[in-house]
Amino acid sequence: MRISRAELKELMKRKFCRAGLKDDHADIVADVLVHADARGVHSHGAMRVEYYAERISKGGTNTNPNFTFTKTGPCSAVFEGDNAAGHVGAKLGMDEAIKMAKETGVAIVGVRSIGHSGALSYYVQQAAREKLIGISLCQSDPMAVPYGGAEPFYGTHPIALGAPGSDGRMITIDMATTIGAWGRILHARSKNEQIPDDWAVDENGVPTTDPYKVNALVHIAGAKGYGLAMMVDILSGVLLGLPYGNKVTSMYHDLSEGRNLGQLHIVIDPAYFTSAESFLQNITNTMNDINNLKPATGFAQVMYPGQSSASREEAYERDGIEIVDDIYNYLISDVIHNNAYDNKGAFAK
């Protein structure tokens, strides 16, 4: 079914408030989730609400965190998230990074000890809307086999970049270092659909198209994706003195405990490296040049990263956001959660 962006956000916010989040924190989490759904990234949208609500209810999300922001150098800082909702810590950490970058040209802000923060595109677009370059990367559950390995070590470990153009458009790259993000497998389960045969392997390490038989994900491009995942883990985990590699807690392990995840934001003011106007225009030129390339057979147009999601967002704004009926029924119900996630394995339903 389809509902308006405003209604979807309000339903999610109401559920988070009932679970125990403060109004302003619930508003941020709902805003990040509706951003994902509005761009067609349903794996990071409303389908996550019940999991978050259960963790909030059971104490694994700190509903009254003590945030601190400590500058550690001219352009470096640490935002302590105190195991708050990850979306809140990540957004507030990016707010601080943007302020610092406007003063110093470059900002690197480590966000320590937060929960799952959802779609990274949200945070890099915060910077891009301020005519800055935003980069963000974060840890996730160990659920992907390293190149040559037979058991998981790193997670999907996503990377994102936002770069603004002169005309309001922006390039938005938001990608997992695995071929398929775990949230997309959850989305396939919610719609009873199969997954491509190169996304994941079963308990025997054999590729599977059944989302319920997934035992581990596979990194993109073999050893190269594995190397990218290691880079993300070093910069958002080891660098911040947090658990790393297969020591990162599972999303579903003991929902009464905080997850202590790390995220790193890098913000760059182009004006410190070139003419700001020229940078913005050249990003727009890049988008136009790519659109004007000859498309391959079967494609109507060559698109720049983030273009299809932006187009989908415009369509959803006009026609409403598509939500699975079961998820909508949960959102409008009086149920906070169904005790469906606590102490489950990494590949819980």
175 has which bridge partners? 159
Contacts of 136 (CB under 8 A, 6+ apart): 90, 94, 120, 123, 124, 159, 160, 263, 264, 265, 266
How far apart CA 270 and CA 74 sit, in angstroms, is: 18
Pick the closest to residue 54 from 347, 346, 338, 343 (CA basis).
338
Task: Calculate the alpha carbon distances from 271 to 152, 235, 277, 310 in Å.
Answer: 42, 25, 8, 26
Among residues 44, 87, 116, 265, the one annotated as catalytic is 116
116 is catalytic: yes
**Calpha distance 143→104 (Å, rounded):** 38
Q: Which of 311, 51, 10 is nearest to 182 (CA)?
A: 51
* 89, 81 contact by CB (below 8 A): yes
Active-site residue list: 116
